[in-house]
């Protein structure tokens, strides 16, 4: 496990100058940003899908907890709603970031 983490850290350090280049330096850009929209759509799909999976697991766990101990159902319900709000905010943050990155021209 530590060898893998060390390898990923070295790979990140070695690859970081690649991302430091300004867009004007690369010769293949020429205003073609069609791939940004496609990447943003894929990113939103992945983000929304994983948020939906997280919400499903949270609701399943809360329902199981309320079924096992009905006396604490209000506390579990409040914690579940708070957790669902946080999970949904992640999907909204992804959407906002995509709107910031993909500016309609």
What are the structural domain ranges in the chain? 56-105
Q: How many CB atoms lie within 10 A of CB 44?
A: 17
| Residues 44 and 95 sit within 8 Å (Cβ to Cβ) | yes
Tokens of 7: 């390898």
Q: Examine the pLDDT at 82 and tell me if it is beyond 80.
A: yes
Question: In the prediction, which pLDDT does 29 show?
Answer: 45
* pLDDT band with cut points at 50, 70 and 90 for residue 67: very high
Global pTM exceeds 0.75:
no
């Amino acid at each position: 496990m530590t060898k893998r983490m060390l390898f990923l850290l070295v790979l990140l350090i070695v690859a970081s100058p690649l991302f430091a280049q300004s867009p004007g330096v690369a010769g293949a850009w020429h205003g073609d940003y069609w791939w940004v929209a496609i990447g943003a759509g894929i990113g939103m799909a992945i983000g929304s899908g994983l948020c939906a999976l997280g919400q499903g697991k949270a609701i399943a766990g809360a329902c199981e907890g309320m079924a096992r101990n009905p006396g604490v159902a209000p506390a579990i319900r409040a914690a579940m709603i708070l957790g669902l709000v946080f999970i949904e905010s992640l999907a909204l943050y992804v959407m906002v970031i995509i709107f910031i990155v993909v500016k309609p021209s």
